[in-house]
Chains A and B, each alone.
Chain A
Amino acid sequence: MRRGSSSIRAGFAAATAAVAILALLTGCGVGGEEAGSGPRAINWYAFNEPGGSYQEAVDDCNKQADGRYKINYVKLPNIADQQRELLVRRLAAEDDDIDIMALDVIWTAEFAEAGWIKPWEGERASTAEEGKLEGPLESVRYQDRIWAIPFTSNTQLLFYRKDRVDEPPENFTWDAMIDQAAENDSAIEVQAAQYEGLTVWINSLIAGAGGEIVDENGKALVDESATRAAEIERKLATSAAPPGLSTNREDEARIGFESGRSDYQINYTFIYPSAEAIKGFQDKIGFARYPRTEPDMPSKPPLGGFNLAVSEYSNNPDLAFDAAECLANEDHQAIAAEKGGLAPSTESVYERESVTKAFPFADVLRESIDNAAPRPVAPAYSDISLAIQKTYHPPSGIEPKGILETLRDRIGKAGQGEIF
């Protein structure tokens, strides 16, 4: 008969048995390991900080905890949207595996309203607020309560080629910058892909003209500043745009600036240590505050960063609060500045020598963060951001004239939970 088929059968049976055994050994995939009778496991969900500073904070706090708890650093993907997706899914499933989360500054209202995070009250609230810069402080407040402790902050600066353009004056506007770049036949690197980074840009443009996007309940407050933002975006897209502007994110902008195709770059501070890799390039980089929308109104730089929040479904909330306080302390902020290029949220940390060495632009940084414009604080923020992204994309295709109406309409629908 067919000897081949019986050997196939045997092989198949063996393979199945092997995999079945493997499956049994690795278990049916229950979440993280419980430490048993040892120190309580506190799981910290945060993005994978490549400089190692987050890991150092974890190790340090574990030592200080002296056996009371042990923090596990669970690494999330780099992109904020993906971090949110993963956290939301677990929290919606009421998963008790998360104890502390590193929340992007824009998620506070959403997570608080959904009942996914615990408020910081009494003494803990004082600890969370103490000595913090205004920008980060505002980002943990929602409906008069504190929902997280600020940890690392971030803002965007204007970086320019010292060897190609002059130092920008104090009232440097976007219009002036675009004109200068166009004159030099060069470009300006901004983030204009259809993602959160676009909202960051538009929000700062609008705030720089004194406008607001929504109030705490999600009601649209947009006025002509939205049209102004559209005009600036369109002007940049038509006269000083780098190729691929409509898919530019932070990293594409960095690479573009390093390749020499642009004289100006608006980006987070990570680009500075990154530029060390190219010989002599770092010396050519000058830095200044975020450009103004209107010549007579100071600019409102964007605010990024991570706050540490405690999950509503944590099994050890008190330990989680303690661990979060430890992680977010001033020493760890300083290490994050040194090794990760992440700006501190506590004012006094800026005076440390290690920080001023890591950031030659420490003063501009602190000033920017203190005057930063947070993105709209509303539970439906991710929908509102999506509405903004859709309205202001692609950069070369927007029509400033009707944009106010479109934006109002979309934000209205977003706030109502409808399709837009």
Chain B
Amino acid sequence: MHTARERVLWSIGILVVLLYALIPVVWITSLSLKTPDQVGDKKFFSGISFENYEVVFSDDTFIAALINSLGIAAIATLISIVLAAMAAYALSRLEFAGKAVILSGALAVAMFPPISVVGSLFDMWRAIGLYDTWPGLIIPYMTFTLPLAIYTLSAFFREIPWELEQAAQVDGATPFQAFRKIIVPLAAPGVFTASILVFIFAWNDFIFANTLTSTDAARTVPAALAFFTGASQFEQPIGAVSAAAVVVTVPIIIMVLIFQRRIVAGLTAGAVKG
């Protein structure tokens, strides 16, 4: 069947892929565990010291940024999924003119260069007082994730056998019961996957977070990383930035590892179930 040579080649190939994916993560982790004078030694692992983490967790700015990131991404995800689910339901179940227009429009929004929009948003938000607030970020996030959510949910919804709902109603269930007991469980995996993808997008964003915030009130972690303070006016806070980076990455990696099948299914529009 599979020769030993084949197995060896595949093992090497897989190892290469693993190395590729993990080198930066391992590197930044090793930096975060170094003491300030070990930073310049150019080695991967010099030992384990948690002082950078102590610095990071005692920094109010960083804690605030974590809370901002979490809250803003979660709320944006919630709103985006609700809006997208409604639209995806219509797009996959109902027949009406304008489907193509809406889908093409969503595609256009996905292709938008954010820089073209941040300038106006900056001016608009400062005029109506949304600058440096949670809604100020939630609104662009939920909008720019709509195309991704709509496409993912449409792909999943198309797979749902809607006749089951009608069958249940024929059997005596009310429309709401049929919806709740049949459709919702079938739709849940798709909704969950779409939520993960949208959350990752919002968690990751930098350009909006950077431009539309300026203090702890709404600055998210990516923007906070870029503005970390160091030991002196001129010193580079490599250790602190690395520790903060690790703190921000670990939850995502865990989430990605647990939900990898769903994410792959979502990103390949259902073509690959894992």
**Direct contact between A and B judged by beta carbons closer than 8 A:** yes
B-binding residues in A (CB < 8 A):
1-2, 5-6, 8-9, 12, 15-16, 19-20, 22-23, 26, 28-32, 47-50, 74-78, 82, 86, 89-90, 92-95, 97, 249-251, 254-255, 268, 270, 274
With contact pairs A22-B70, A249-B234 given, residues A94 and B133 touching in the complex (Cβ less than 8 Å): no
List residues of B (212-240) whose CB comes within 8 Å of A's CBs: 214-215, 217-218, 226-237
Closest to A19 in B: B74
Across the interface, do A8 and B189 meet the contact criterion of CB distance under 8 Å?
yes
- Of the candidates A20, A32, A82, A268, the one whose C-beta lies within 8 Å of that of B227 is A82
Q: Which residues of B contact A77 (CB under 8 A)?
A: 227-229
- Please state if A9 and B231 are interface contacts (CB–CB under 8 Å): no
Task: Kindly identify, within residues 131 to 145 of chain B, every residue whose CB is under 8 Å from any CB belonging to chain A.
Answer: 131-135
> Given A29-B132, A75-B61, A77-B227, A19–B71 Cβ distance below 8 Å?
yes
Known: A12-B195, A50-B233. 19 other contacts (CB 8 A): A1-B185, A6-B185, A23-B74, A23-B134, A26-B67, A26-B71, A31-B217, A32-B215, A47-B233, A48-B229, A50-B230, A50-B231, A78-B234, A82-B227, A94-B126, A251-B232, A255-B40, A268-B234, A270-B232
Given contacts A12-B195, A19-B70, A78-B230, whether A31 and B215 have CB atoms under 8 Å apart is yes
Q: Nearest-CB distance from A29 to chain B (Å)?
A: 4
B252 in contact (CB, < 8 A): no
B-chain residues with CB within 8 Å of residue A31 when the two chains form the complex = 132, 215, 217
Chain B residues with CB under 8 Å of A251's CB are 232, 234-236
Contacts of B185 in A (CB 8 A): 1-2, 5-6, 9
Residues on B with C-beta less than 8 A from A250 are 233-234
Complex contacts, B71 vs chain A, CB 8 Å:
19, 22-23, 26
Closest residue on chain A to residue B236 by CB atoms: A251
Asked if B230 and A93 sit within 8 Å, CB to CB, the answer is no
Complex: how many Å from CA A293 to CA B172? 95
B contact residues, total (Cβ < 8 Å): 41
A–B pairs, 25, beta carbons within 8 Å? A5-B186, A6-B185, A6-B188, A8-B189, A8-B192, A9-B184, A9-B188, A12-B195, A23-B75, A26-B71, A28-B134, A29-B68, A30-B217, A49-B233, A50-B230, A74-B215, A77-B227, A78-B234, A82-B226, A89-B214, A93-B125, A93-B131, A95-B131, A95-B132, A250-B234
Interface of B toward A, CB cutoff 8 Å: 40, 61, 67-68, 70-71, 74-75, 78, 122, 125-126, 131-135, 184-186, 188-189, 191-192, 195, 214-215, 217-218, 226-237
Interchain CB contact (< 8 A) of A90 among B78, B135, B192, B214: B214
Determine the chain B residues whose CB is within 8 A of the CB of A8 once the complex forms: 188-189, 192
Interfacial chain A residues near B230, Cβ < 8 Å: 50, 78
CA distance in complex: A92, B126 (Å): 8
**How far is B125's CA from A94's CA once the two chains are assembled, in angstroms?**
12
Closest B-chain residue to A341, C-beta based? B232
B192 touches A12 (CB 8 A): yes
A399 to B27, CA, bound (A): 40
Q: How far is the CA of A31 from the CA of B214 in the complex (A)?
A: 10
A15 proximity list for chain B (CB < 8 A): 74
Closest CB in chain A relative to B229 CB, distance in Å: 4
Q: Tell me whether A97 and B229 are in contact in the complex, defined as CB-CB below 8 angstroms, given that A19-B70, A26-B71 are known contacts.
A: no
Task: Write the nearest CB–CB distance from A420 to chain B, whole angstroms.
Answer: 19
B67–A78 CB distance below 8 A: no
Q: A5-B185, A31-B215, A50-B231 are in contact. Are A16 and B78 (CB under 8 A)?
A: yes
Q: Measured between C-beta atoms, what is the minimum distance from B189 to chain A in Å?
A: 6
A9–B133 Cα distance when bound, in Å, is 30
